[in-house]
Amino acid sequence: MTITITAFEASPDRGQGLARDMRVRWALEEVGQRYDVRLVSFAAMKQPAHKALHPFGQIPTYEEGGLALFESGAIILHIAQARPGLLPADPDARARAIMWIFAALGTVEPPIIELEQGGYTPADIWHAARVPLLEQRIRTRLADLSAHLGDADWLDGEFSAGDLMMVMVLRRAEGTGLIEEHPNLAAYVARGEARPAYQRAFADQLAVFTSGGQ
């Protein structure tokens, strides 16, 4: 069955792999699943054809036969449940790996995105004043995550979809210097980025930028 995902035709990050199609690409590479990519413009994302797939007019989406999904967390969970490679077989370990997907998206990502978004939003006249508070919120999360990770390679035993999501979420804080305050988190992100599946996914999304004339 052909799998098709959507990605930015011209990602604002210029191929840094920060848009959320990167996490879906990485998951598909980890499980060895080929996929097609349909590139969409910002205008096309808001048209009815795309909104039939994604009610909020965003990327990524995932299509496989009659199934259409949006939300990167739901897509990665689906990939991980459908194919071996991203979730442990043991039921308890599997539940904990899924827990880490939720922790990444629900607990760690929100303050990082809030800090990032304010910088893009000129109408947010309070953003500059809120930066120290937002950074402190992120610092609290990262300190706790760092303490949990300790000297381990991954959050709970073997690499899982929970690590994939957490690494991608931590990457969103790149450039803030906050990850580097915790050498074990910086090494954790680097371990994720060193995985061959990550490298293939990154190269593919970068090729959209370098060969697409964006």
Q: Which of residues 3-42 bind ligand GTB (CB under 6 A)?
A: 11-13, 18-20, 42
Residue 71 interacting with ligand GTB (CB under 6 A) = yes
Is residue 115 part of the contact set for ligand GTB (CB under 6 A)?
A: no
Site string for ligand GTB, 72-91 (x = CB under 6 A): xx------------------
Q: Cβ-count burial of 133 within 10 angstroms (0-12 exposed, 13-18 middle, 19+ buried)?
A: exposed
Q: For the chain, how are helix, strand and coil distributed in percent, rounded to 5?
A: 60, 10, 35
CA separation, residue 13 to residues 7, 19, 119 (Å): 12, 7, 14
- Residue given tokens 């899982």 in the structure block: 160
Closest CB to ligand GTB among residues 20, 141: 20
Nearer to ligand GTB, 42 or 102 (CB): 42
CB of 74 to ligand GTB, least distance (A): 8
Residue 83, number of CB atoms within 10 A of its CB: 15
Stretch of 65-73, 94-102, 134-142, 190-198 contacting ligand GTB, by CB under 6 A? 65-73
Edge to edge, the sheet with strand 36-40 lists 36-40, 3-8, 61-64, 67-70
Under the rule (CB under 6 A), what is the footprint of ligand GTB? 11-13, 18-20, 42, 45, 57-60, 71-73
